[in-house]
Chains A and B, each alone.
Chain A
């Protein structure tokens, strides 16, 4: 199928997930031959937008022009062959070859390719490139690439964009999600910024990266009220947690946690934050020798509040009360009315579930607490409760390690903030006036050269 020369229009797109609005009136226009960047902080709606475009998710409202069978037809929740999506980690099946993969994605196998190579022999980057080539081979009108450059080095990134450019030069449209702003500035025809589910801005080629970053994270008035927080004199104290040369992808990180501090590690989840959580939780066994004490052991004096509350922290089918008592404490959750106790846990809202986990894990935090993305999906009340609970714990002299992708959360909580980008710690600082912009730039790989107040460990 040859891509036709038509514009794709997205008008007032709304979509909600589990009752929470993800896309809130998103509108944008894609011109044929365009290679566009799509950026936004975690949770801004990028992936959901991709799913809607691919027809995997039905929008609650809104119109997409130029992708239906007739251009004026609404898109209705069936897989759209004119859009090919490539996820950050393309799904593979053991035993498949490159040829099989092409057949799976596009229904046909190119003749000139080395098609007998097993997929298992490809690197992550190689797999992503194959995903893109196979998607292009299927002859779509629109290519949606979700963080496909994440595992790639500089040379592979060039190859990646050359491949995509080759597709757009023939009239196709590509939308590339990435958390590395500079590559989009270098290779794209313009960058869309999504914030809270709607378009926050469009930046033509040559735009200033700092402006894009500010558009992604928004301006916040929290900077004005930031007060310098007293950090206890650490000279005579030993850290309660030491992480040394822990591998994240191809890079290594080292950091520590002292008693009586909240240390926030700020970064995009794809840029190393997720890998770090798995290592600290003991799920990645390779990292175990680099973390002291082993947080995942029962007697380590640390407890863990995971990012994925339902997948890692709670037990479906068991009651609220039973979920509270998993550590063997015969108590009832303090913050819930008694009629909740015998309800199945899945009846709790996200905020209540988070509160239950906090109430369960905090008393076990003898030395410290590991908390991952604690504020995700919480409303103001629950967020305030959460922050107060963590601050109280700090004031009791315990250490709190927060992994977060939300600069505001890091700023309002952290006594010390380390920024992770591309699987390494790029800066470490204490909160200061105007640090919000500084931190969010670091998260997307900008301002590497700026010196921070306390770079490195």
Chain B
């Protein structure tokens, strides 16, 4: 337990210390803004629900990151995959008749999952058959495809009646049922929680999950015990993209009801932080996602109550991310041992 104290609590203490320091330096009424930051997310149902809403997406993307991790690779294209899922879902639901109702929503979610998985699949294929580093290729693909959606949403697909850069709103028949009204939270939260439990069972309780972990831990040794490491890693990477696509799809059907420019609001990145805080454990990742959503909501409430500028809110998240990654990657993770003369 001593070990997990230093590796989880210590960076959190540092992170919160930094938050307090920033609030003291960056606002005219430090005490009020500190209160707003830490207690804001619990002040009313609206903020609390919105925190859970953010957490839903970070949970899904975090689980996606975790899955790729377990297969021994790093999915840096989360933002693009989330956006793809959202974009395709908004287009699809704008196109089919509203009479399809729940069936239409189901199809849209499947479509989001498939397109997110396809985008990641390009990187997975490039790695499998051409040896291209999937960390780089997924990042670059994502980097390239985001402005493409942006330009379509701001251009030919824009809703002329809206002030925002967004596609037309989808029909109410396609909206996911809300929980914790008046907040944005919706039943997608249960999907994310359920998937967390599912992956916990898969990774810790099944042979397939075990073989996936073997493949990620040491591909060569996995091959020697008869486990096809490259296949596992391939499937895990595609599934990672599929989870991101699902997050995007849920964001449209559950929260935004349209594809806005920047609809991903950093879920792709925050998923990485959640997986890292969660120590690469599915249930830990759910908690990590909650924590990150808490920080986000805290920063938002502090912004409202105290003229806390947007940049400082981003700064807070940046610092937390920094401390946690420094903790995870800064120390020698694997004791490299080799026999030599």
Instruction: Known contacts A328-B207, A346-B335; decide if A312 and B341 are in contact (CB<8 Å).
Output: no
B235 contacts the other chain (CB 8 A): no
A114 contacts the other chain (CB 8 A): no
Chain B residue contacts of A325, Cβ below 8 A: 210
Which stretch in B29-37, B212-220, B263-271, B322-330 binds the other chain? B212-220
Contact (Cβ within 8 A) A18 B225: no
Contact (Cβ within 8 A) A316 B217: yes
Which stretch in A41-49, A198-206, A223-231, A244-252 binds the other chain? A41-49
B99 contacts the other chain (CB 8 A): no
Separation of A376 and B339 alpha carbons in the complex (Å): 8
B224 contacts the other chain (CB 8 A): yes
Contact (Cβ within 8 A) B214 A326: yes
Query: Which listed residue (A45, A304, A308, A317) contacts B339, Cβ 8 A?
Result: A308
Chain A residue contacts of B336, Cβ below 8 A: 310
| Smallest beta-carbon distance A241→chain B, Å | 17
Query: Which listed residue (B218, B222, B224, B338) contacts A316, Cβ 8 A?
Result: B218
Interface positions of A from 311 to 358, Cβ below 8 Å from B: 311-318, 322, 325-328, 346, 350
Contact (Cβ within 8 A) B218 A314: yes
Instruction: Known contacts A17-B340, A346-B335; decide if A313 and B221 are in contact (CB<8 Å).
Output: yes
| Smallest beta-carbon distance B218→chain A, Å | 5
| Smallest beta-carbon distance A96→chain B, Å | 19
Separation of A326 and B339 alpha carbons in the complex (Å): 23
Separation of A17 and B334 alpha carbons in the complex (Å): 16
Chain A residue contacts of B221, Cβ below 8 A: 311-315
Contact (Cβ within 8 A) B339 A316: no
Interface positions of A from 278 to 299, Cβ below 8 Å from B: 281, 296-298
Chain A residue contacts of B333, Cβ below 8 A: 317
| Smallest beta-carbon distance B66→chain A, Å | 13
B331 contacts the other chain (CB 8 A): no
Separation of A241 and B317 alpha carbons in the complex (Å): 61
Contact (Cβ within 8 A) B214 A315: yes
Chain A residue contacts of B213, Cβ below 8 A: 315, 318, 322
Contact (Cβ within 8 A) B334 A322: no
| Smallest beta-carbon distance B332→chain A, Å | 10
Query: Which listed residue (A17, A44, A281, A318) contacts B214, Cβ 8 A?
Result: A318
- Give the interface size class of chain B: 20 to 34
Interface positions of B from 180 to 229, Cβ below 8 Å from A: 207, 210, 213-214, 217-218, 220-222, 224-227
Query: Which listed residue (B218, B225, B226, B335) contacts A311, Cβ 8 A?
Result: B218
Contact (Cβ within 8 A) A47 B340: yes
| Smallest beta-carbon distance B231→chain A, Å | 15
| Smallest beta-carbon distance B52→chain A, Å | 31
Contact (Cβ within 8 A) A42 B341: yes
B2 contacts the other chain (CB 8 A): no
| Smallest beta-carbon distance B235→chain A, Å | 19
Separation of A315 and B224 alpha carbons in the complex (Å): 12
Contact (Cβ within 8 A) A306 B224: yes
Interface positions of B from 269 to 311, Cβ below 8 Å from A: none
Instruction: Known contacts A311-B218, A317-B334; decide if A296 and B341 are in contact (CB<8 Å).
Output: no
Chain B residue contacts of A311, Cβ below 8 A: 218, 220-221, 338
B172 contacts the other chain (CB 8 A): no
Instruction: Known contacts A311-B220, A311-B221; decide if A316 and B341 are in contact (CB<8 Å).
Output: no
| Smallest beta-carbon distance B182→chain A, Å | 44
A307 contacts the other chain (CB 8 A): yes
A interface footprint on B223-251 (CB within 8 Å = 1, 0 otherwise): 01111000000000000000000000000
Instruction: Known contacts A17-B340, A310-B337; decide if A304 and B224 are in contact (CB<8 Å).
Output: yes
B interface footprint on A27-53 (CB within 8 Å = 1, 0 otherwise): 000000000000010111111100000
Query: Which listed residue (B225, B335, B341) contacts A46, Cβ 8 A?
Result: B341
| Smallest beta-carbon distance B284→chain A, Å | 14
Chain A residue contacts of B339, Cβ below 8 A: 43, 307-309, 373, 376-377
Chain A residue contacts of B220, Cβ below 8 A: 311-312
User: Nearest A residue to B221 by beta-carbon distance?
Assistant: A312
A interface footprint on B164-182 (CB within 8 Å = 1, 0 otherwise): 0000000000000000000
Contact (Cβ within 8 A) A318 B217: yes
User: Nearest B residue to A46 by beta-carbon distance?
Assistant: B341
Interface positions of A from 363 to 386, Cβ below 8 Å from B: 373, 376-377
| Smallest beta-carbon distance B245→chain A, Å | 28
| Smallest beta-carbon distance B322→chain A, Å | 23
Separation of A132 and B257 alpha carbons in the complex (Å): 68
Separation of A313 and B217 alpha carbons in the complex (Å): 11
| Smallest beta-carbon distance B277→chain A, Å | 17
| Smallest beta-carbon distance A52→chain B, Å | 13
| Smallest beta-carbon distance A448→chain B, Å | 24
| Smallest beta-carbon distance B138→chain A, Å | 22
Separation of A57 and B213 alpha carbons in the complex (Å): 34
User: Nearest A residue to B204 by beta-carbon distance?
Assistant: A322
Contact (Cβ within 8 A) A45 B341: yes
Instruction: Known contacts A316-B334, A327-B225; decide if A322 and B210 are in contact (CB<8 Å).
Output: yes
Q: A45-B341, A310-B338 are in contact. List 13 more A-B contacts (CB 8 A).
A: A18-B337, A281-B224, A298-B226, A304-B224, A308-B339, A312-B218, A314-B218, A315-B214, A316-B217, A316-B335, A318-B213, A322-B213, A326-B227
27 pairs, CB–CB < 8 Å, chain A vs chain B: A18-B337, A40-B341, A43-B339, A45-B341, A48-B340, A281-B224, A296-B224, A306-B224, A311-B218, A312-B218, A312-B221, A315-B213, A315-B214, A315-B221, A315-B222, A316-B334, A317-B217, A317-B333, A317-B334, A318-B213, A322-B210, A326-B214, A327-B225, A346-B334, A346-B335, A376-B339, A377-B339
Sorted nearest first, the 6 A-B pairs with minimum C-beta distance are A315-B217, A298-B226, A316-B334, A346-B335, A47-B341, A310-B337
